[in-house]
Amino acid sequence: MPNLQRANVLAVKLLLRQRITSLRTDPLHLDCSGQILVDSVQHYAECVGRSAEDFMAQNSRDCQAYAVYGRHLILYNREVLSSCRRRWSIAHELGHICCRHSCDGVREEAEANAFAASLLMPTAAAGELIHRGRLRDAKDLCDIFGVSLQSAQLRMQQLERTGTQLTELEEQLRQRYLPVIEEYLVAPVITLPRSRLEPPPLLLEPLPLEELSGAFWGGSRRSAIWSKDSSARPNSS
């Protein structure tokens, strides 16, 4: 069975490490202690002297995570992903990494989705807005947190089912969100913390496509994280 509670705790712990400046979490700018690099496949391919098509020809996904020498690399296709879809896809891959998934299955996908929902629509912030009457339905959740309507509807159903009672960790996170929420209540304009005008600095030495063979692309909507030298890596046939 998926351990959704653990996925939520991991997302909350990651958020507690951040400087909270917006209700919209931007996975591109999360502090992951240099252990996770998020980059577009286009920029990364340029860094390693290859074309983006070389990467995309072997992989059909719009966002994929790799394990490289004990660290992790998430590459997304900036040409096909909307802002909402990009943030969700990156958050989903972060979920696979933080949950330490070593294979791809129904349980792993459910946990990664739960992690993404908790990261992008944390109960600590959503619950506070619900109590203050500023978050009434999935459309509000969509507008405030910058997610797709489908993701917002699923999250709203979950909040209605489980309630908004906070754990001790979530209460710490709520306190961190309060200044941002107060600012939103005065002037409800939501923006991401900052825009990325230049490509991100590479935190890992760029490795060419052949060196990223530790990643396994499991189809258009699936992913798995594999260590570079893993003998357990499945065949891609």
The confidence score (pLDDT) of residue 223 equals 32
The confidence score (pLDDT) of residue 134 equals 94
For every residue of 44-91, DSSP letters joined together read HHHHTT--HHHHHHH---SEEEEEETTEEEEEE-TTT--HHHHHHHHH
The confidence score (pLDDT) of residue 79 equals 85
d(CA 107, CA 125): 26
The alpha helices in the chain, defined as continuous H runs, are: 4-16, 41-47, 52-58, 83-98, 106-120, 123-131, 138-145, 149-162, 168-186
* Residue 213: Cβ-neighbour burial (10 angstroms; 0-12, 13-18, 19+): middle
Contact present, 26 and 78 (Cβ < 8 Å): no
Residue owning tokens 């390693």: 48
Q: Containing H/E element for 39?
A: strand 36-40
Tens of pLDDT, residue by residue, the chain (237 residues)? 999 999 999 999 999 999 999 999 999 889 988 889 898 988 888 888 888 877 775 555 788 888 777 788 898 988 876 888 899 999 999 999 999 998 879 999 999 999 999 999 999 999 999 999 999 999 999 999 999 999 999 999 999 999 999 999 999 999 999 999 999 998 866 655 544 444 454 544 555 555 554 443 333 223 333 233 333 332 332
Contact present, 152 and 158 (Cβ < 8 Å): no
pTM: 0.81
Residue owning tokens 């959503």: 126
Per the structure block, which two tokens stand in for 235?
């065949």
pLDDT digits (tens, 9 = 90+) for 150-175: 999 999 999 999 999 999 999 999 99
